[in-house]
Amino acid sequence: MDQLLQTRQPTGRTQNASFLLGANENHLASSSMSFFSDSRLNALSACLGNDALKSLITRISHMVKSRVEVLHRNLGPSSIWNQSGEVPRLSPDRRRHLIDMFFENIHPLHPFLDRHEFESRAFAPTLQADLANGVSWTALYYTVLALGCEFDGGGSFAPGDGEAWSLFKVALDLYPRVLLLNTDLLEVQAITAMAVFCLNLSGTQIQGKIISEAARVAQRAFLNKASTSSDAIIRSRAFWVVYYIEKTVTFHHGTTSFIVDCDVGSPIPIVQEAVFGDFDWFLTSVRFARLYSRTFTDLFSISATNNSKTAYLAKINQLERLLEQQCQTIPPQFRPGTKLRPQTFSHPCEIAAALRVHYHYHELKIALHRLKLHVTRDQSSSQSPADIIDMMKSARAVIDLTRVIYQEPSTPFFIMIFMPLTALFILFDLVVHYPAHPDARSNLVLLESVTGYFSALEYATSGYLPGSMLIQFASIARTFHSSSHPAQVEDINNGNSGMGTTLGHPSPETVGTGSSTNSQMPWEVTPQPMSDESSQRSSYFPLDISMFADSSLTPGLEIMDLFGGPLSGVDFFSASN
């Protein structure tokens, strides 16, 4: 900011809205999901020896553009509003059942309500009068019903469809009126409930608007401050749920958070329904959200573009240490890096919490490693192979965990689509660049596994998610690997072998193969350990660090465009020398 006042000249990243699939050549996206750059496509095509990837990206780009036009025309915001004004009629027993579904399966992950207080009002004889006279209460009530209905099988992957959406439309119709009211706890709870609903695939069109408003109203109601009122605990709970949602989603999208951390003083309460055994999910979620916030501010904000290379590396190392310290505070049953055994969990909420913990951990790991590789791209670094290996391990772990993902409308977009797609692009890149690596074959198997997962997702969504087109990534990689002639692998750290970091022998976290509530799905593969040869040599990547000169290790696309979401901005940075 001070530099802008002095020079009046732009600084740092810029927004380029001219491409749906295009990356800046000199900047790196803050999210683990990035765009394709011309130089990156050229580098990959040079390795492949053909233009198959360019043709695939062109087809995807054309599909995205036509899909965005159709979705914005047919499924625009006006189509998901409750224009008829009709309110779905539910029996008292049905309403009670949906409220139970919400509090038993959704609320433990986002505990922003007092269940006793909510149910006392929801089941009171005066309910109809309350609904007629209370805009915020009505919006909250019908969103809770919608969330319970979505989990109970009444949801839809497409916006506006299904019983859950018919209930949510009642709340959505009241949304503008809620924003005009004097903001207090009830208004914050209503918008927060709507934000939770929008975390799923069908809510991506309006996710950004709803979540940003949740952050704004929470601060306007002073929930970010410590309170001495009788409802202080529930005010704190509501704020920290908003904080977790807003900080994680803005990082995924590479956008700026509305919550200013230096102005937060609300205590973090103990929430019993969000404690699973010895694992405090509520506290852990807030800790991860804070790490996301620090990572964005320190490394991906516009101000961070003025960092020197030394400052970047120091901040990256500091955040890596904080991430690992955070990981060690998590009980082994939920801890990333350990085997996730679904059969040991007694409730679906525990599995959902474990998946979020693992995926938050790996998203941050990937972001930090990609940034470190970019910052050191013009120098020989003994640490670079270790960073690539760690990123590969994270990608493998993410794909391995897809076997425990429920392909249901109630599953968050981040879990069901964002992280598996990120991992797909990473392994594709590694297989193409390092076909002689000992783990190339198992990486190919995992690559085919995750593309099968997305094909199954296309079937589950009745074609709404065009996941089968991703099969071509695995096909291109398999064809290239089969036809390539592995060259003699040269140790990048020749003469500096003692500086490498040994790749651990254990495989990335794998799912237990014992009896489980999840039967094996058609895309699943038997988990394979990383090869002994790879585990003995941390520097097995014959890497020319200049391959990162275009600032993008992982090819990607603005995935939100595939689902009718707004063309959101993407945050970039460039590391100064």
Q: What is the pTM of this model?
A: 0.84
For the cut 50, the answer to whether the pLDDT of residue 546 exceeds it is no
Does the residue 292 lie in any domain?
yes
301 belongs to a structural domain = yes
134 in any annotated domain: yes
State the pLDDT confidence band at 28, using cuts at 50, 70 and 90: low
Are 351 and 249 part of one and the same domain?
no
Name the one residue in this structure whose structure tokens are 């976290």: 509
Final residue of a structural domain among 269, 299, 328: 269
**pLDDT at residue number 508:** 40
368 and 477 in a single domain? The answer is yes
Domain, as residue range, for 167:
78-269
Does 223 lie in the same domain as 112? yes
Q: Is the dihedral of CA 39, 44, 47, 53 positive or negative?
A: negative
Both 193 and 307 in a single domain? no
Instruction: Judge whether 56 lies within some domain.
Output: no
Q: Are residues 445 and 398 in the same domain?
A: yes
**Residue 384 maps to a domain:** yes
Q: Are residues 330 and 468 in the same domain?
A: yes
CA-based nearest residue to 349, from 112, 153, 105:
105
Mean pLDDT of 394-404: 95
Residue 412 CA to residue 435 CA, distance in Å, equals: 34
Domain end, chosen from 250, 269, 288, is at 269
CA distances from 96 to 117, 130, 148, 233, 503 (A): 15, 17, 10, 25, 52
Both 157 and 264 in one domain: the answer is yes
235 and 352 belong to one structural domain: no
- pLDDT (average), residues 315-342: 95
Of the residues 269, 298, 324, the one at which a domain ends: 269
What tens digit of pLDDT does each residue of 135-173 get? 999 999 999 999 999 999 999 999 999 999 999 999 999
Q: Are residues 99 and 175 in the same domain?
A: yes
Is 171 in contact with 203 (CB distance < 8 Å)? no
Q: Are residues 194 and 322 in the same domain?
A: no
Q: What distance separates the 2 farthest-apart alpha carbons in the chain? A: 80
Token output for 112: 């922003």
| Residue-wise pLDDT tens digits, 468-511 | 999 999 999 999 888 874 443 333 334 333 323 333 333 444 43
Looking at per-residue pLDDT, the higher value among 292 and 18 belongs to: 292
Confidence band, pLDDT 50/70/90 cuts, at residue 68:
low
Q: Considering its fold, how many domains does the chain have in total?
A: 2
Q: Is 276 helix (H, G, I), strand (E, B) or coil?
A: strand
Average pLDDT over residues 332-359: 94
